[in-house]
Amino acid sequence: MMTRRSLTFACILTFAAKFVASAGAAPPAKGEKARPFTLKTLAGKAASLETFTKSGPVVLLVLRGYPGYQCPLCTAQVRDFVAQAKAFAERGASVVMIYPGPAASLSKYADEFISGHTLPANFTLLVDPDYVFTESYGLRWNADGETAYPTTLVIDKAGTIRYAMVSKTHGGRSKAVNVLRELDALN
Residue 16: pLDDT above 60? Answer: no
For residue 33, what is the DSSP state?
A: B
Domains and CATH numbers, the chain: 25-186 (3.40.30.10)
Give just the sign of the alpha carbon dihedral 119, 123, 126, 132: negative
Instruction: Identify the weakest region by mean pLDDT among 11-15, 46-50, 97-101, 118-122.
Output: 11-15
Give, in order, the Cα–Cα distances in Å from 47 to each of 32, 121, 174: 21, 15, 24
Phi and psi at residue 29, to the nearest 5°: -135, 155
What pairs with residue 126 in β-bridges?
41, 98
**The whole model's pTM is what?**
0.86
For residue 158, what is the DSSP state?
A: T
The confidence band for 68, taking pLDDT boundaries of 50, 70 and 90, is: confident
Distance CA 33, CA 57 (A): 13
